[in-house]
Amino acid sequence: MRIEETDLADVIVLVPQPHRDDRGLFTRTFDASIFDEHLGRPGAAASFVQDSQSRSIRGVVRGMHGRSGHGEAKLVRCAHGAVHDVLVDIRPASPTFGTKRAFVLDDDEFRHLYVPPGFLHGFQALTPTADVCYRIDRPHDPEADLAVAYDDADLAIEWPLPVTIVSARDANAGSWRELLTLLR
């Protein structure tokens, strides 16, 4: 597994190195020692306490979600299919505050995103079915939920496909301007 830096402060991409042959492939999707060494925090990988998985159909958008307070760090990967994954830095003191960045996560390259606390996160399914796996470092606390509408004009996220389905929660999420007021 190798690690790539991104242009978002503290966000990294973990890139497994699959071995492919006539049978198919084998890959190690995560290596705690490489992850911990890169972060310079022994035991960082062990801090993940919950694993979750979502399944979405082509065109579905989930997001843009975040957490207030201490936030949550997560590792995100697409185990089946492909997604257009979007992050927005909502850490007021960050040099990349307000910056958004998109990544393609799929079941061919097996790339993972390490998302530190303080980001909005969302994705759109690009394939008929997409399974996204999340490894999270804190138990989910609904009281800490933050959300910005996936189609907020100020964020201007460019989804690659027409949006087919969003949850009622995501359809009624707040605006980027409201979140900025909350963060101040």
State the pLDDT at residue 43.
87
State the pLDDT at residue 6.
96
Question: pLDDT-derived band of residue 23, with 50, 70 and 90 as boundaries?
Answer: confident
Q: Where are the domains of the chain?
A: 49-183
d(Cα 76, Cα 119) in Å, to the nearest integer?
13
State the pLDDT at residue 13.
95
pLDDT in tens, 1-15: 899 999 999 999 999
State the pLDDT at residue 89.
97
Residue 75 in contact with residue 31, Cβ under 8 Å? no
pLDDT in tens, 94-134: 999 999 999 999 999 999 999 999 999 999 999 999 999 99
Structure-model confidence comparison of residues 26 and 93, the more confident one: 93
Question: pLDDT-derived band of residue 184, with 50, 70 and 90 as boundaries?
Answer: confident
**Which tokens is 98 given?**
């307000």
Residue that is written with structure tokens 């699959």 in the block: 18
Q: What share of the chain is helix, strand, coil (3-state, %, to 5)?
A: 15, 40, 45
* R_g (Cα) of the chain, nearest Å: 16
Q: Is the pLDDT of residue 87 over 90?
A: yes
pLDDT in tens, 44-85: 888 889 999 999 999 999 999 999 988 999 999 999 999 999
Give mean pLDDT, residues 142-153.
95
Residue positions annotated with a catalytic role: 65, 134
**Which of the listed CATH numbers 2.60.120.10, 2.30.30.90, 3.30.360.10, 1.10.40.30 matches domain 49-183?**
2.60.120.10
d(Cα 121, Cα 40) in Å, to the nearest integer?
24
